[in-house]
Amino acid sequence: MSPSRDGTARGHAVKRRVLVIGAGPAGLAAATSLLETARDRLDVTLVHQGHHLGGKASSTRRPDGRFVEHGWHMVVGFYDRLRALLRRAGVNDRDVFVSMRGQSHPYEAWSRRIHTLDAGGDAVAFAARFATYDGLPGADRANYSAFMSQAFLEAFSGADLTRHDDLCFDTFAVEHGLRPYVTKYSVFRFLREAYFNFPERISAYHVLQSMRLMSSPKRAEAFVCVGPWSEVVWQPIARYFLSLGGSLEPFTLATDWVWTGDRITGVRVARPDSAGHGDGARAWRDEVRPAAGTERTLEGFDFVVSTIPHAVFVKMNRAEERMWRSPWFARLENLRSAATVSMTLTTTKPVLADKPGPVFGFPAPLGITVNMKPYWREYRDDPSVGSVLDFVGQEAGFETWSDEQLVSFTLDSFSRAPQVGDLRAAGVRDVELHRNRADAERLLLCEPGVNQFRPGPRTPFSNLFVAGDWVRNEVDLICMEGAVASGQAAAAAVVARLG
């Protein structure tokens, strides 16, 4: 059978082959989107280095039934793309994402009290509530409120917020009248710490863009997942991808590009040396390396969509000066990322039972926690578990501390707050700590001036597209929704290239 002049055989279009690398939110979104829009014209293979799906947003269950959390994750009301993708995969998002009742709880050291921010009501009430937060001494409240109102006005104004990217949010605030010391209160610090930008500065663009996307209480409402993310969210999406005709290959670690002229002609891959990312505490901690003797080249693809995280991407083809001196690649070296740290602590007695949302403002590195007991199905009705505290933060400054020091310091600092009480006395049943240091685990820092160096989906290679939370996209925040948006944009770029 010979192809006809228009490249078809017996009237059927010859399918073009697409390789998608990475099965985090961006890779899964890109792979499904390619088949949803052009399955008659595309064959899509998704490869990823580990076993568990979801990348940095994965969490799973061990054979002993315990959760292995890579880091606490929340979904925000404006995550329309992620929710819609999940629904198309046959999962009712309302069944798997539970609201934290619009509440979050800043701990202010000056009063040693955990306060509550309530996001209920309409948009104006929400902005007003945020602006009239009662956790500050009376003398600072008016000043803080005036600034927050201005920040909301700017965020909702429709103006191009990227013009604030070269400024840090603290400076933006002080330039807009906030007294400098007010930036030290937890409620304010949270804006950069929740993006793990501590101790670095966060771009004003990034914070204002978050405020814009959370433009109403509904869009700002925070949700948590009822079980391990890999099983509850990412596996159904992968099954959906397979049902559309895609194929999936785990344990495939991409190490280098093979290229000729302006085309990627192959990808060097190997089996990872360990079980790979996401298979337990150690795998999350260690760098994943190619196992000797397993190297091979994947070839025959027309297009490649890479959702490899930035810190891994910049280590590929390192010996090739020509590539790394070219402007597009050289620019990527201006981006930095951070190692995160997370801890799950189970107690026998209830702790923070009256705080449905995240409690934050405690000292780094694990200064944020959420009691997941009411949310995780496995623990919700288990009377032997009083609370499941999920802590998260950035490792910077604490790299030399031992795990024991980190655990002990965190227990001490939270226990000093009367509303938490002595955590040891609450009966510690289990502690699991993860230092997410491997390149694939690092999270992009949204520092001032960073956006000019973030690429879009297109690359100097005509058939290589990039996606991931670190790639610029319509959402533009370093989060799952940004990664999904970016994956879908890369898929659209491939389809556009098909003509």
Contact positions vs ligand FAD (CB under 6 A): 21-27, 48-50, 55-57, 71, 73-74, 253-254, 277, 307-309, 312, 340, 342, 392, 436, 440, 443, 468-469, 478-481, 483
What does DSSP say about strands 340-347 and 428-436: parallel, antiparallel, or unpaired? antiparallel
Tell the smallest beta-carbon distance from residue 197 to ligand FAD (Å).
12
- Separation between Cα atoms, residue 190 and residue 197, nearest integer Å: 10
Tell the smallest beta-carbon distance from residue 488 to ligand FAD (Å).
12
Tell the smallest beta-carbon distance from residue 421 to ligand FAD (Å).
26
Q: How many H helices and E strands in the chain?
A: 18, 25
Tell the smallest beta-carbon distance from residue 193 to ligand FAD (Å).
12
Nearer to ligand FAD, 91 or 341 (CB): 341
Nearer to ligand FAD, 136 or 269 (CB): 269
Instruction: Quote the tokens at residue 180.
Output: 């400098």
What string of H, E and C letters represents the secondary structure of 348-416? CCCCCCCCCCCEECCCCCCCEEEECCCCCHHHHCCCCCCEEEEEEEECCCCCCCCHHHHHHHHHHHHHC
Tell the smallest beta-carbon distance from residue 100 to ligand FAD (Å).
11
Give SS3 for 114.
Answer: strand
Nearer to ligand FAD, 374 or 427 (CB): 374
Which candidate, 221, 215, 311, 305, places its Cα nearest to that of 267? 305
Nearer to ligand FAD, 250 or 427 (CB): 250
Q: How far is CA 150 from CA 125, 138, 143, 173, in A?
A: 15, 19, 11, 9
What string of H, E and C letters represents the secondary structure of 148-185? HHHHHHHHHCCCCHHHHCCCEHHHHHHHCCCCHHHHHC
Nearer to ligand FAD, 214 or 254 (CB): 254
Tell the smallest beta-carbon distance from residue 285 to ligand FAD (Å).
13
Nearer to ligand FAD, 23 or 191 (CB): 23
Nearer to ligand FAD, 480 or 494 (CB): 480
* CA 199, chain centre distance (Å): 18
Question: What's the distance, Cα to Cα, between the start and end of the chain in Å?
Answer: 25
Nearer to ligand FAD, 93 or 140 (CB): 93
Instruction: Quote the tokens at residue 357.
Output: 């949302």
- Separation between Cα atoms, residue 370 and residue 315, nearest integer Å: 35
The region that residue 7 occupies, defined by phi over 0 for left and psi between -120 and 50 for alpha, beta otherwise, is left
- Separation between Cα atoms, residue 59 and residue 54, nearest integer Å: 8
Tell the smallest beta-carbon distance from residue 4 to ligand FAD (Å).
37
Tell the smallest beta-carbon distance from residue 85 to ligand FAD (Å).
12
Tell the smallest beta-carbon distance from residue 310 to ligand FAD (Å).
9
Nearer to ligand FAD, 448 or 482 (CB): 482
Tell the smallest beta-carbon distance from residue 349 to ligand FAD (Å).
27
- Separation between Cα atoms, residue 472 and residue 477, nearest integer Å: 9
- Sequence-separated (6 or more) residues with CB below 8 Å from residue 28: 46, 53, 85, 234, 237, 238, 241, 487
Nearer to ligand FAD, 165 or 481 (CB): 481
Which candidate, 243, 463, 436, 455, places its Cα nearest to that of 335? 455
